[in-house]
Structure 1
Amino acid sequence: MEFSTRAATSADAEAMYRLIETAELGWHGQAETVPDQVAADLRRPELDLARDTLLVLAPNGDLAGWVWVHLGKRVQIEVHPSYRGQGIGTRLLDWAVARAREVGTDWIGQAVDDADKAGTDLLLSRGADVLATNWLLERPLVAVEPGELPDGIRFGTYDPARSHDVHELIEDAFSAFQPRRKPYDEWVELTVERDTFLPDATTLAYAGDELVGAVLALDLPGSDEGYVEQVAVRSDQRNKGLARAMLDQTSAAFLQRGLRGLILWTHSGTGALAMYERLGLRVRRSTTVYRLYL
């Protein structure tokens, strides 16, 4: 079968998401990627679609696979289940390695669903090692009486006038484990400017007028679950029950929307898994981040 290739455009975001959706349905029986995730990724300011993306198309026009390389370091490769076993994953990985070398990086990182044996085997065959683990956590939504907030703390929903403060709070909180701080224009594309962002279910915490915590909420259209995109607490306000209180506040907003569950991802580098488990969340599934030295 002869496949063709071309760079992605923003118009391809829907088809690229549908490929992920099909794979997740096959592995897990449900799709948990937020539908506008690919569109948000393709809008990253530093992503040059002409140079940093590649689509593989089947002769009938089907999208058989795709890849993007962000800043020469982070890679995402997806292959449609109908076209596995035809070398497409290998072709996309080779392309990603070549692109990373052009940029001048010395390794690339790729998160692979732990149910994706072919993707895992391919990276391990190239000598990749494990960099980190991501866990998808879940918690059923039940009505609870709001608890007392820590002294001096008040809650509000998302306030666009504080978007720069939210960005700084989150990037400060994540700086200990993520390799780079996202600039503001990239962060907003990935969070508060997405079509699925839910400002009324988002919880911001203030001490006086200072922003000290945030839980950003997204919609999962067609799902009975609410999605938490990011959770952050300022360092001097941790271990006071603020994360629990904010998640309970957002959970109550999800309940008002008729949802029955909450899901969020956490990363092994955050050290937050045990904290989330104490808050009643449980691991549903995981992905592994592999690092491949060039």
Structure 2
Amino acid sequence: MPDTPQLPAGLTTRPLRRTDATAVHQLMVAQELEDIGEVAIEEADIVSDWAKPSHDLAARSVGIWDGDTLVAYAELMGADRADTSVLPSHRGRGIGTWLAHWLQDLGRSVGSSIVGMPVPQGSAGDRLLEQLGFRVRWTSWVLTLPEGTSIPERELPAGYAIRTAAPEDLHAAHDVLEDAFLEWSVREREPYEDFVAAVTGRPGFEPWNLRVAVDGAGEVVGVSLVLVSDNGRTGYVDRLAVRADQRNRGIAQALLVDSFAHARAHGTTTAELSTDSRTGALGLYERVGMVTRSVWVNRAMDLT
């Protein structure tokens, strides 16, 4: 890429602080309304990410300010996961290009071989990253369960049950999730302390949000993390995994039914989840009646 461009005159930069979570959320809301016509991000998503002990927010983030208004930001979590946003009113001024360069420089400084970020397919951010040479790593779909429909129930194997995770289940739940996700996700294993901070430390978390499927011996064989979002209207399955030796037995579908049922019991009226092309799970969700609501791509730049 060419040399890093200059930011427009009058803008200032500084690392983000935890107290900036509301400003970042407002910025991302404005961008999502412009790009996809709805709001997907929750402030709790930002707060829980920033609560992870391994994430050095001061060293891995930058905010761009126009006076007292946050007009853009970027951060890098782990080796390669970037997030960025530019206020729609400030697009077309080279800010997004500056952030892309900043992320690559940061990635190289911490030893990353690649940095990538999710953007709505066909959005201004998608087009800009394509122009800058970022390739598509994978495609993601946000799926919703149409109002008035339900996922067909699946009977669990004999002796199995689904229940709220107890404190003593947390290590096993973390192992099931990480083992499953690392089958297709190329990244370092999430530290257990990060898992606990981001899940049980998430604003608004209640014990029922973390569901576990257990076998006859009480071992955790499946996990679902279901969140209440969209001002209490949506039950969102944030993570879903079944241990490899327990798959194709209806456990994942039973966890989905259980998760959405508990969310409805807590006042939600719609149900959502997301999946991506690395998992091969899109067909599963479509077969149980879920439909695509929005499409995202993860665009990345190789740094070596």
- Give CA deviations for 1:206-248 in whole Å, capped at 9, x if unaligned: 0021101111111215242111110011111111111111111
- Quote how far apart the aligned CAs of 1:151 are: 2.1
Partner residue of 1:86? 93
* Mapping of residues 38-49 of structure 1, within 5 Å: 38-49=46-57
- Give CA deviations for 1:90-115 in whole Å, capped at 9, x if unaligned: 11111111111111223211111214
Partners of 1:116 and 1:223 in 2: how far apart?
27
Partners of 2:44 and 2:137 in 1: how far apart?
27
- Quote how far apart the aligned CAs of 1:126 are: 2.3
- Give CA deviations for 1:29-55 in whole Å, capped at 9, x if unaligned: 321223211112222323222221000
Partners of 2:75 and 2:282 in 1: how far apart?
29
Partners of 1:177 and 1:144 in 2: how far apart?
26
Partner residue of 1:51? 59
- Quote how far apart the aligned CAs of 1:12 are: 0.4
Secondary structure of the residue aligned to 1:269 is coil
Partners of 1:148 and 1:79 in 2: how far apart?
47
Secondary structure of the residue aligned to 1:82 is helix
- Quote how far apart the aligned CAs of 1:135 are: 0.9
- Quote how far apart the aligned CAs of 1:262 are: 0.8
Tell whether the 8 Å contact from 2:232 to 2:267 is kept in structure 1 after alignment. Answer: no
How many pairs were matched up?
292
Q: Which amino acid aligns with 2:113?
A: D
Partner residue of 1:98? 105
Change (3 A) 1:45 1:15: same
Tell whether the 8 Å contact from 2:275 to 2:282 is kept in structure 1 after alignment. Answer: yes
One of 36, 46, 66 as aligned partner of 2:73: 66
Change (3 A) 1:151 1:291: same
> Which stretch has the larger CA shift, 143-152 or 22-31?
143-152
One of 244, 257, 276 as aligned partner of 1:248: 257
Matched, 1:160 2:197: no
Partner residue of 1:174? 181
Partners of 2:151 and 2:127 in 1: how far apart?
45
Secondary structure of the residue aligned to 1:51 is coil
Tell whether the 8 Å contact from 1:13 to 1:38 is kept in structure 2 after alignment. Answer: yes
Structure 1: unaligned runs, 5 residues or longer: none
Change (3 A) 1:146 1:268: closer
Matched, 1:268 2:274: no
Partner residue of 1:36? 44
Matched, 1:130 2:136: yes
RMSD: 1.8
One of 22, 31, 42 as aligned partner of 2:30: 22
Change (3 A) 1:234 1:198: same
Partners of 1:174 and 1:158 in 2: how far apart?
19
- Quote how far apart the aligned CAs of 1:155 are: 1.4
Change (3 A) 1:144 1:41: closer
Partner residue of 1:196? 204
Change (3 A) 1:93 1:19: same
Structure 2: unaligned runs, 5 residues or longer: 1-8
- Quote how far apart the aligned CAs of 1:152 are: 2.2
Q: Which amino acid aligns with 1:104?
A: G
Tell whether the 8 Å contact from 1:198 to 1:218 is kept in structure 2 after alignment. Answer: no
Change (3 A) 1:198 1:226: farther
TM-score of the pair, normalised by structure 2 = 0.90
- Give CA deviations for 1:162-193 in whole Å, capped at 9, x if unaligned: 11110001001111111222111112222232
Tell whether the 8 Å contact from 1:167 to 1:184 is kept in structure 2 after alignment. Answer: yes
Partners of 2:154 and 2:49 in 1: how far apart?
37
Tell whether the 8 Å contact from 1:44 to 1:186 is kept in structure 2 after alignment. Answer: yes
Q: Which amino acid aligns with 1:100?
A: G
- Quote how far apart the aligned CAs of 1:85 are: 1.2
Partner residue of 2:146? 140
Secondary structure of the residue aligned to 2:43 is coil
Change (3 A) 1:23 1:223: farther
Partner residue of 2:11? 3
Q: Which amino acid aligns with 2:31?
A: A
Tell whether the 8 Å contact from 1:132 to 1:269 is kept in structure 2 after alignment. Answer: yes
Partner residue of 2:222? 213
Partners of 1:279 and 1:266 in 2: how far apart?
14
